[in-house]
Amino acid sequence: MDSNPLTKKLILKTASSESEIYFGRGTLLKAGLLCGTRFRGRRVHIVSDTNVAPLYLSQVSMLFEENGFTVTSTVLPAGETSKTLDSVHALYEDFVSTTLTRADLVVALGGGVIGDTTGFAAATYLRGINLCQIPTTLLAQVDSSVGGKCGVDLKSGKNLVGAFYQPHMVLIDPDMLNSLPEHIFNDGMAEVIKYGFIADKSILEKLESNLDNDMISDVILRSVEIKRDIVMQDERDTSIRMILNFGHTIGHALEKLGGFHALSHGQAVALGMKAALQLGILLGITEKSTIPQLNNLLDRFELNQEITYSAPSIADALLNDKKILSSTISFILIKTPGEAFIHNLSLLSLRQLIVEVLK
Ligand code: GLY
């Protein structure tokens, strides 16, 4: 396998787990073979959604069947409304009715919602069953499928229930992105741009040039490597992993103000990164040239929009977040492209800075 130049294997090792990440064009076609070699059980339950299943479910089922697996599946309605405990419960029932054991395998075939929901069901069913993530969106390929964060939303907020559960295997095939609508692809680009700003400015240089398919593969792989390296240092998100939240603190407030449908995650993160750079400039920490650089990239991927909410309402949405448990917040700032750090701010200073930056 490793002699195939199109497939690269990365290992994400933590104190209690080892996640094998296979990356490259055509990797999907090896799904049955790779899982057949790694997993003892011969049952696989694939979870997908109504957008992805018509494109890939029969093909992926066949790839597993050809390698001796008995395949069953659940198809959830596409969209954030499926990221609930009700969906997790429905998955448990399907796992039980197909007599899935801990030796068997659950496959998440889809974007972030499917990956997060299925990941949480896999983490908790029988106290943990084998899990393979096959991410089908750019956002899921570079972020949510790697690193083990999984969970669901409650009525009172997003991602309020969840776990850290490393997938045993992740299969990332950039060819699967060819079926994506352009705006969904662009949405994922916000996260790729994030990796450039927090850890590797060469990603930004690539995105600024004439991007072809090979370069897109390169920036995805580099993003996954960065995430793998960060998660290996801090799986539980208590220190360096927080830098992955660059642009997300204000981005999340914007998503919340739009009822989680006015702005996509990528659009919100894009605007959140811009605000975070402006905030860093106001504090005298961030280089001023980062703003035109980010603007140029956001224009390129149609992620540069006006913020339509008032600065005080954004500050309120951010500071009323149920996940804020203390009087300070770890805010991610950039010094120069490729160099991020955690800056602790009191909630009061953050409010004042947001109002100043977004006025
Ligand atoms: N999506 C950010 C993280 O996995 O920590």
Q: What is the mean pLDDT of each run of 10 residues along the chain (359 residues)?
A: 70 96 97 96 97 98 98 97 97 98 97 98 98 98 98 91 98 95 97 98 96 94 98 97 97 93 95 98 97 98 95 92 81 98 94 93
> Cβ(224)–Cβ(23) under 8 Å?
yes
> Domain segments of the chain: what residues?
8-180, 196-357
What atom in ligand 1 is closest to the CA of residue 148? 4
How far does the centroid of ligand 1 lie from the alpha carbon of residue 230, in Å?
10
- Ligand 1 contacts (CB < 6 A) are 143, 147, 149, 237, 241, 244
Share in percent of the chain as helix, strand, coil (round to 5): 50, 20, 30
Task: Write down the CATH number for the domain with range 8-180.
Answer: 3.40.50.1970
Mutation choice for ligand 1 from 143, 240, 323, CB with most ligand atoms inside 8 A: 143
For helices 347-357 and 311-319, the axis angle rounded to 10 degrees is 150
pLDDT of residue 5: 58
Closest Cα to residue 251, out of 151, 325, 332?
332
| Residues 122-135: b if buried by 16+ CB within 10 A, e if exposed | bbbbeeebbbbbbb
pLDDT of residue 323: 73
pLDDT single digits (tens) 238-257? 999 999 999 999 999 999 99
Residues 6+ apart with CB under 8 A from 229: none
Q: Atom 3 in ligand 1: which residue has the minimum CA distance?
A: 244
**Residue 100 and residue 125: Cα distance in Å, rounded?**
10
Beta strand 8-13 with 18-23 is antiparallel
pLDDT of residue 327: 87
> Cβ(171)–Cβ(134) under 8 Å?
yes
Strands lying side by side in the sheet with 18-23: 8-13, 18-23, 169-172, 130-135, 105-110, 43-49, 70-76
Fold of 196-357: Dehydroquinate synthase-like, alpha domain (1.20.1090)
Q: Atom 2 in ligand 1: which residue has the minimum CA distance?
A: 244
pLDDT of residue 324: 78
What atom in ligand 1 is closest to the CA of residue 147? 4
The pTM of the full predicted model, rounded to 2 decimals, is 0.96
pLDDT of residue 4: 53
Q: Give one DSSP letter per residue of 28-88, joined into a string.
A: GGGHHHHHHHH-S--EEEEEEETTTHHHHHHHHHHHHHTTT-EEEEEEEPSSGGG-SHHHH
pLDDT of residue 330: 93
pLDDT of residue 2: 45
